[in-house]
Amino acid sequence: MEIKCLCLGSIGTNCYLLSTNKSAVVIDPGFHSDKTANFFESNCDKEKMILLTHAHFDHIGDAERLRNLYGAKIGIGVYDSDALADTHKNLAYLFGVDLKPFSADVTFGDLEEFMVGDLNFKVFHT
Q: Distance (Å, rounded) from C-alpha 24 to C-alpha 88?
A: 31
- pLDDT digits 0-9 by tens, 65-97: 999 999 999 999 999 999 999 999 999 999 999
pLDDT-wise least confident of 11-15, 33-37, 44-48, 115-119: 11-15
Q: What is the pLDDT of residue 27?
A: 98
Q: What is the pLDDT of residue 33?
A: 86
Q: Distance (Å, rounded) from C-alpha 99 to C-alpha 82?
A: 14
Check whether 8 has a pLDDT greater than 90: no
DSSP sequence for 18-55: EE-SSEEEEE---S--HHHHHHHHHTTTSEEEEEESS-
- Give the global pTM: 0.96
